[in-house]
């Protein structure tokens, strides 16, 4: 059990790094070194945790030496460790991308000194949410990452970002309040917030009380995960942030909500009376989300809508509550974190190269920048679920689980997911054709130059693009530091396909653990629940 | 478990007032609403901890008489978090006021654009269908009738659509 010493590190290290980066605020170079080193360490720690959790069962750390029902316990089982590893990789790539973006846009000596500390705190909050073994610590993890995300979303304080930010902050606050209220009621009903202990005690509650608690927790998490009736805030608020910020939000924040749904549904409410309702929510999330994406003309907004839509796939897997369904959902979460982040990073590159993300204004990028075209094409097809890619495998796994389930509602969901993936393909093909394939007209060229002036950077100031698109003299070159992380994520996405066998093996085992519940409970409460 | 009725009523009132304010458009009112609900939740935690007892200090009081210390620790954490978020919301309301002269939560620009486009589509298709000038209830008003007279070109209805 020596690896359990490592369990709190993914939370402590970024917090420590954030403090250090804030203290080193005067030196951009030192801040960069601190954040990159911290995130690289996190990737390594998460990898070790995943190997140990897979080999030896859940790794538990009782913080401060207080045993489980009383103290705060941090638990890394297969699911948490896998999520942690993927998030750390994604966060590292996004950070490297944003470093390079900052360098280009202000010169080496004018960094935004709060960006790095805030980013690290966001990562700490995500890690805390994944590892937390009790509901209240999960709430604290959510609040840490939300507070950091408020700051990142409103960086620079321009009118646009304040407008988008106010919706986002108020909606997030509302979901936090629902969550906290649910916590108070959970404590009143059971006298504990430790998830392992709750698993036993919730079973003893009257059905109606348990249902109310489940409904409140689900509502809170569904807002954070952007499940359909509660998803309207997301496409409004994400696209206005700087590209790397949107990318990390899209990759991680909604997935923390999905993780919380998976964890509470499987551990606390295994025989959920709400699974039919969840299936309906999944269906509506998929279909309505993708219809929104099809209607959009702006690439970033289109991607935000596909993000909402594909959350539906994960909820579908969770609602089935079978081994195969959960396994498919976990695989899909991993795939989607990587691919969606990748697409938003590429959208940032497109914005820089083409001067805009509006599909009305873009055109002919394939000729201007074949590398960029490739960087967009592969993850876009992956998202749509074209056969060799991981998106296809994840969807296939979910659909098989749906067919195995055999109820008519599951078949409707399978049909819905086919329609959704076809519409995703349509949306992506539309974006590809208009941004990369169709030749830019002369009128559009002049408007692109004008649009280039409207592009904003991390601070919300206009980026100097010097009319590069207009002259074709490539004043805006693709920075290796920006294209590199996007390419790295693309490679991770392809690796998810290549190593799909072992990965599905891992998610199968994780799903079996979740369904069985006892490994988790016994790891946290060795003597059984008091 | 016995709950204190007065506290329960206080929680209810705080939540009701808070939700009412949260639904307002002005960020300052939203802020006040958040504070009220935050305090409502904190009080709810106190209700959840059961009847009040003696101070939970080992050695000073008998364990059976103590009140439950855990919810109080949870409330402390929640208070700190609410404080931080309140400060941020206040700063944001101030910034919104600096930028716009008010602190109202605004509609999304793109949503408005898409809605406008949809309305334009509706109007223009009614032109195409009704070459004779029979209008649906959407386009039956005065400016639409004027715009319809040239040649049913969708572009001609542009300004009219924006008026709505």
Interface ipTM: 0.79
Q: Which residue of B has its CA nearest to A151?
A: B88
At residue B37, the pLDDT reads: 93
Categorize the per-residue pLDDT at B154 as very low, low, confident or very high, splitting at 50, 70 and 90.
very low
Residue found by looking up tokens 């909050």 in the block: A125
What is the DSSP code string of A470-515? HH-S-SSPPPHHHHHHHHHHHHHHHHHHHTHHHHHHHHHHHHHHHH
A230's CB contacts (< 8 A; 6+ apart) are: A175, A219, A222, A223
For residue B64, give the DSSP letter: G
- Nearest chain B residue to A302 by CA distance is B110
**A281 within 8 A of A251, measured Cβ to Cβ:** no
Exposure pattern of B103-139 as b/e (b: 16+ CB <10 Å)?
bbbbebebeeebeeeebbeebbebbeeeeeeeeeeeb
Q: Which helix (H) or strand (E) holds A62?
A: strand A59-62
Residue A63 CA to residue A524 CA, distance in Å, equals 12
Per the CB < 8 A criterion, the answer to whether A88 and A39 are in contact is yes
Nearest CA of chain A to the CA of B158: how many Å?
18
* DSSP per residue, A356-389: --BTTT---HHHH-HHHHHHHHHHHHHHHT-TTS
Query: What are the residue ranges spanned by the domains of chain A?
Result: 3-446+479-524
Considering only alpha carbons, which residue of chain B is nearest residue A178?
B41
Is any Cβ of chain A less than 8 angstroms from the Cβ of B88? Answer: yes
* Predicted local distance difference test score (pLDDT) of residue A21: 87
Query: Per residue, what are the HEC states of A312-350?
Result: HHHHHHHHHCCHHHHHHHHHHHHHHHHHHHHHHHHHHHH
CB atoms under 10 Å from CB of B140, counted, come to 11
Q: In whole angstroms, what is the distance from residue A253 CA to residue A199 CA? A: 25
Q: Which residue of B has its CA nearest to A238?
A: B108
Q: Can you tell me the distance from the alpha carbon of A513 to that of A507, in angstroms, rounded to the nearest whole number? A: 10
Looking at the predicted structure, is the pLDDT value of residue B158 above 50? no
In a 3-state reduction of DSSP, which class is residue A162? helix
The pLDDT assigned to A64 comes to: 78
Model confidence, pTM: 0.84
Asked whether the beta carbons of A178 and A219 are under 8 A apart, the reply is: yes
Report which of residues A359 and B27 the model is more confident about: B27
Inter-CA distances, A82 with A43, A234, A255, A398, B80, Å: 11, 25, 12, 19, 31
**B135, HSE (Cβ side, Cα atoms, 13 Å):** 16
B84 at interface of A, judged by CB pairs closer than 8 A: yes
Chain B hits for A187, Cβ within 8 Å: 45, 48-49, 70-71, 74
pLDDT, tens digit, 9 for 90 and up, residues A461-514 = 444 444 333 333 334 556 677 788 888 888 888 888 888 888 888 888 888 888
Q: Is some CB atom of chain A closer than 8 A to the CB atom of B102?
A: no
The class of domain B5-109 in CATH terms is mainly alpha
Tens place of pLDDT per residue across chain A (530 aa): 467 788 888 899 999 999 998 888 777 788 888 889 999 999 999 999 899 888 888 888 888 777 777 778 888 888 999 999 999 999 998 888 888 776 555 444 444 678 888 899 999 999 999 999 888 999 999 999 999 999 888 877 777 788 888 888 888 999 999 999 999 999 988 888 888 888 888 888 888 888 999 999 999 999 988 888 888 888 878 887 788 888 888 888 889 999 999 999 888 888 878 888 888 999 999 998 898 888 888 888 888 899 899 999 999 988 888 888 889 899 999 999 999 998 888 888 887 777 777 777 777 776 777 778 888 888 888 888 888 888 888 888 888 888 888 888 888 888 888 899 899 988 888 888 888 777 765 444 444 444 444 444 555 444 444 433 333 333 455 667 778 888 888 888 888 888 888 888 888 888 888 888 888 888 888 766 55
Could A187 and B48 be called an inter-chain contact, meaning their C-beta atoms sit closer than 8 Å? Answer: yes
Q: What is the average pLDDT across B147-152?
A: 42
Q: Which three-class secondary structure state does DSSP give residue A237?
A: helix
**Nearest CA to A398 among A336, A307, A477?**
A336
The secondary structure of chain A in percent helix, strand, coil, rounded to multiples of 5, reads 80, 5, 20
Is any Cβ of chain A less than 8 angstroms from the Cβ of B66? no
Q: Residue B49 has what DSSP assignment? A: T
A477: left (phi > 0), else alpha (psi -120 to 50), else beta? Answer: beta
Q: Which residues of B touch A188 (CB under 8 A)?
A: 1, 3, 44, 47-48
Alpha-carbon distances of B154 from B117, B123, B125, B128, rounded to whole Å: 11, 8, 8, 9
Of B3, B44, B88, the CB nearest to A181: B44
- The ranges assigned to domains in chain B are 5-109
| A190: CB partners within 8 A, 6+ apart | A197, A198, A201, A202, A205
The verdict on a CB contact (< 8 Å) between B89 and A157 is no
Reported as a pLDDT band with limits 50, 70 and 90, residue B35 is: very high
DSSP A194: B
pLDDT at B16 over 90: yes
Q: Give the pLDDT score at A258.
A: 92
Helix (H, G, I), strand (E, B), or coil: what is residue B105? coil
In this prediction, residue B116 carries a pLDDT of 78
A298: closest chain B residue by CA: B110
Looking at the complex, does the CB of residue B81 fall below 8 Å from at least one CB of chain A? yes
The Cα A260–Cα A218 span in angstroms is 9
β-bridge mates for residue A75, sequence order: A60
Helices (H) and strands (E) in chain B, counts: 6, 0
Are B100 and A159 in contact (CB < 8 Å)?
yes
Q: Which two tokens stand for residue B64?
A: 């059976």
> DSSP string spanning A67-114?
-TTTS-EEEE-HHHHHHHHHHHHHHHHHHHHHHHHHHHHH-TT---TT
d(CA A524, CA A464): 55
Q: Residue A142: what pLDDT? A: 92
A502 class by beta-carbon count within 10 Å (0-12 exposed, 13-18 middle, 19+ buried): exposed
List the single best residue of B10, B12, B41 to mutate versus A (max A Cβ within 10 A).
B41
């Amino acid at each position: 059990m020596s690896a359990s010493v490592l369990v709190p590190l993914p939370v402590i290290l970024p917090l420590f790094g954030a403090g250090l980066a804030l203290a080193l605020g005067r030196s951009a170079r030192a801040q960069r070194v601190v954040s990159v080193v911290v995130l690289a360490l996190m990737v390594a720690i998460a990898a070790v945790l995943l190997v140990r959790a897979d080999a030896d069962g859940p790794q538990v750390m009782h913080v401060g030496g207080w045993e489980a029902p009383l103290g705060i316990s941090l638990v890394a089982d297969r699911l948490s460790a896998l999520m942690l590893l993927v998030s750390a990789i994604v966060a590292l790539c996004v950070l490297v991308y944003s470093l390079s973006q900052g360098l280009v846009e202000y010169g080496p000596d004018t960094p935004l000194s709060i960006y790095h500390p805030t980013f690290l705190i966001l990562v700490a909050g995500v890690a805390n949410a994944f590892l937390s073994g009790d509901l209240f610590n999960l709430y604290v993890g959510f609040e840490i990452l939300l507070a950091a995300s408020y700051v990142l979303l409103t960086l620079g304080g321009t009118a646009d970002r304040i407008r988008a930010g106010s919706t986002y902050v108020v909606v997030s606050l509302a979901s936090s309040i629902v969550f906290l209220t649910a916590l108070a009621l959970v404590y009143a009903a059971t006298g504990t917030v430790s998830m392992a202990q709750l698993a036993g005690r919730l079973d003893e509650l009257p059905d109606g009380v348990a249902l109310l608690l489940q409904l409140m927790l689900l509502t809170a998490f569904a807002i954070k995960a952007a499940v359909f009736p509660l998803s309207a805030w997301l496409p409004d608020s994400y696209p206005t942030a700087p590209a790397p910020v949107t990318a990390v939000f899209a990759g991680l924040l909604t997935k923390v909500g999905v993780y919380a749904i998976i964890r509470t549904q499987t551990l606390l409410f295994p025989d959920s009376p709400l699974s039919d309702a969840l299936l309906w929510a999944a269906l509506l999330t998929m279909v309505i989300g993708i219809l929104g994406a099809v209607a959009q003309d702006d690439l970033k907004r289109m991607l935000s809508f596909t993000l909402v839509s594909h959350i539906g796939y994960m909820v579908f897997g969770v609602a089935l509550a079978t081994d195969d369904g959960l396994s498919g959902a976990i695989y899909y979460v991993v795939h989607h974190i990587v691919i969606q982040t990748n697409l938003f990073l590429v959208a940032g590159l497109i914005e820089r190269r083409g001067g805009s993300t509006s599909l009305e204004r873009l055109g002919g990028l394939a000729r201007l920048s074949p590398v960029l075209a490739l960087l967009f094409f592969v993850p876009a097809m992956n998202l749509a679920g074209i056969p060799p890619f991981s998106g296809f495998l994840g969807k296939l796994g979910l659909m098989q689980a749906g067919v195995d389930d055999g109820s008519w509602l599951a078949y409707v969901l399978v049909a819905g997911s086919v329609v959704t993936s076809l519409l995703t393909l349509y949306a992506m093909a539309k974006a590809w054709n208009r941004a990369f394939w169709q030749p830019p007209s002369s009128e559009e060229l002049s408007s692109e130059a004008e649009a280039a002036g409207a592009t904003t950077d991390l601070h919300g100031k206009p980026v100097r693009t010097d009319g590069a698109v207009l002259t074709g003299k490539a004043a805006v070159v693709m920075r290796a530091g920006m294209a590199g992380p996007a390419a790295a994520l693309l490679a991770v996405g392809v690796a998810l396909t290549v190593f799909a066998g072992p990965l599905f093996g891992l998610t199968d085992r994780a799903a079996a653990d979740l369904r069985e519940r006892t490994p988790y409970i016994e790891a946290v409460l060795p003597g059984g629940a008091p | 478990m016995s709950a204190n009725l007065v506290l329960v009523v206080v929680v209810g009132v705080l939540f009701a007032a808070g939700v009412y304010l949260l639904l307002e458009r002005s960020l300052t009112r939203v802020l006040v609403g958040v504070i009220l609900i935050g305090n409502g939740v904190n009080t709810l935690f106190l209700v959840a901890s059961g009847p009040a007892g003696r101070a939970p200090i080992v050695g000073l009081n008998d364990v059976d008489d103590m009140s439950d210390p855990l919810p109080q620790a949870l409330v402390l954490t929640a208070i700190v978090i609410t404080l931080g978020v309140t400060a941020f919301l206040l700063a944001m309301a101030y910034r919104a006021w600096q930028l716009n002269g008010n602190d109202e939560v605004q509609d999304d620009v793109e949503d408005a654009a898409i809605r406008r486009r949809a309305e334009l589509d509706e109007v223009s298709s009614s032109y195409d269908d009704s070459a004779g000038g029979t209008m649906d209830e959407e386009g039956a008003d005065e400016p639409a009738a004027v715009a319809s007279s040239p040649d049913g070109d969708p572009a001609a209805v542009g300004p009219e659509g924006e008026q709505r």
